[in-house]
Structure 1
Amino acid sequence: MNIVILGSGNAATHFGQAFQQLGHQIVQIYSKTKANADALAFALQCPGTDDLSQLLRNADLYLIAVSDEAIPTLVETMPQDINGIVVHCSGATDMAILNRFRNYGVIYPPQSLSKNKTVDFSLIPFCVEGSDTSIANSLLQLARTFSSRSILCNSQQRLAIHLSSVMVNNFSNILYQFAYELLEEHNLSFDLVRPIILETAEKVQNHVPITVQTGPAIRGDEATQQKHLKFISNKPDLQQIYQLLSHQITKRK
């Protein structure tokens, strides 16, 4: 398969490398910044451009791998006479944004991608959508060459997956940061809580999360909760988060 990648960041880099490892040919990289296009093009051994009028028209797949905010403008300025399938890899962007093209769809990996960290796509359940049944099945077949866990889902389902990913990834990470700062304030190392982070993550791999919930809220231990709140009385934002999350845990007892 001949593939054009539009974008030069984390997702574009990982997808480009993964496609090449599967034997596909990256035939062009586009980025609005020529230096970025050339850098990824050099790594993937193909031409790069910052001029959408020079976009190849006869590739099999056009992967849009830019920020969600950049997708609408890029789509509107792309040539419409593209023969291949145009896809984006966003979790929160509706597939309909691509409907100016004849064939289009979505290949979304619910995973945080960083250039400097190797990603094993075989462990990621890609979420696939297509403009019609044939396109959807073609994209699912492609996604399953990355991961056998890939599934078909509509835009609403994909948004639910994206929001869930934000909660378990981004929201949990800011809680880790709160803990880091609290420990640092008391001359303690974050290493002290790294084991319990791993323990919790391992438990939810095989259980419904609420069934392995622990701590003072699920036990109804008001005394300990009040000690915690008094301890962080100089941190009203953290107090509010603590109370809100504790309330949600208590509701599910």
Structure 2
Amino acid sequence: MKVVFIGSGNLATHLSLAMKGAGIEVVQVYSQTESHASLLANKLSCSYTTEPEFIVVDADVYIFSVKDSALLDLIHKIPQNKGLWLHTAGSVPMGVFEGYNDRYGVLYPLQTFSKNRDIDFSIVPVFIESNSAGDEAYLLSFAGKLTRQVISLSSEKRKHLHLAAVWACNFTNHMYLMASKILQEQSLSEAFLLPLIDETAAKVHQLSAREAQTGPAIRYDENIIEKHIELLSDPNMKELYRLISRNIHKESSNE
């Protein structure tokens, strides 16, 4: 099995290295930035190109792991071939490939990927979709070499899954940043929050998010809430604090 990676960012790096570790041969990396393409290609011991027209045409699978905005611009530049075209995006429909290639689908790993942060891919849920039953079965086997969790999911369901992931991961991490700014202003160590962050994440393995919720917003303790808001100098953070507190109280009241 031969794979070409179109893209060399965080997801492409983690996914391609996981494939290498699983014995899947990555034969080429494409990126418009040569330094990025060569760096990943060196890790994979494969060739690279910065020109779409030089992408090899005899691979079995072509994985498009690029920004959503770049995907449409790239598709029509890829040489025609008989391989299976896959993208890795959460909110892009499978049909984006329609009219460009006969075989296409989706390989979407639900995880956050950062540079210099190792991921155990065997526990990452991977969601697949294809325009044919034969390739769906092929994808089940292909993704099964990487992880124990392979799930067939439609484009419609996947975009809602991606939306939920943004709330659970991206917005949560942004809250860490807001907390970090507050601590930095007072010359307090961010490390003080790490046990709290760890326990907050660990609790939802045993409890529902509703059951795990704590804090003054549950009972809408206006005395504490207003004191906290007074401590914030940024109007946007004040507004965000109020909005989230009201929503926590609303959800807690719906029990």
Q: TM-score, normalised by structure 2?
A: 0.93
1:170 partner letter: N
2:138 matches 1:138? yes
Q: Deviations over 1:148-177 (max 9, x none)?
A: 222111112111121222112211112111
Determine the C-alpha separation between the residues in 2 that align with 1:167 and 1:90.
16
1:102 partner letter: D
Q: CA deviation at 1:38?
A: 2.6
- Partner residue of 1:78? 78
Q: CA deviation at 1:202?
A: 0.4
Determine the C-alpha separation between the residues in 2 that align with 1:175 and 1:225.
17
- Partner residue of 1:20? 20
Paired residues, number: 251
Q: CA deviation at 1:250?
A: 1.0
Q: What SS is found at the alignment partner of 2:134?
A: helix
Q: CA deviation at 1:126?
A: 0.6
Determine the C-alpha separation between the residues in 2 that align with 1:186 and 1:37.
42
1:73 partner letter: D
Q: What SS is found at the alignment partner of 1:127?
A: strand
My pick for the range that moved more, 36-45 or 128-137, is 36-45
2:208 partner letter: V
Equivalent runs, 1:46-65 vs 2, <5 Å: 46-65=46-65
- Partner residue of 1:44? 44
Determine the C-alpha separation between the residues in 1 that align with 2:90 and 2:169.
14
Determine the C-alpha separation between the residues in 2 that align with 1:181 and 1:39.
34
Q: CA deviation at 1:209?
A: 0.3
2:188 partner letter: L
Q: What SS is found at the alignment partner of 2:102?
A: coil
- Partner residue of 1:189? 189
- Partner residue of 1:243? 242
- Partner residue of 1:94? 93
What RMSD in Å do the two structures reach over aligned CA positions?
A: 1.5
Determine the C-alpha separation between the residues in 1 that align with 2:152 and 2:162.
15
Runs (5+) with no aligned partner, structure 1: none
Determine the C-alpha separation between the residues in 2 that align with 1:213 and 1:11.
31
1:47 partner letter: S
Q: CA deviation at 1:50?
A: 1.8
Runs (5+) with no aligned partner, structure 2: none
Determine the C-alpha separation between the residues in 1 that align with 2:115 and 2:239.
35
- Partner residue of 2:167? 167
Q: CA deviation at 1:71?
A: 0.6
Q: Decide whether aligned partners of structure 1 residues 231 and 36 sit closer, same or farther in structure 2, where only a CA change above 3 A counts.
A: closer
Contact 2:220 2:246 (8 Å CA) reproduced? no
- Partner residue of 1:5? 5
Q: Deviations over 1:10-46 (max 9, x none)?
A: 2222222111111111112212233432332222112
Q: CA deviation at 1:127?
A: 1.1
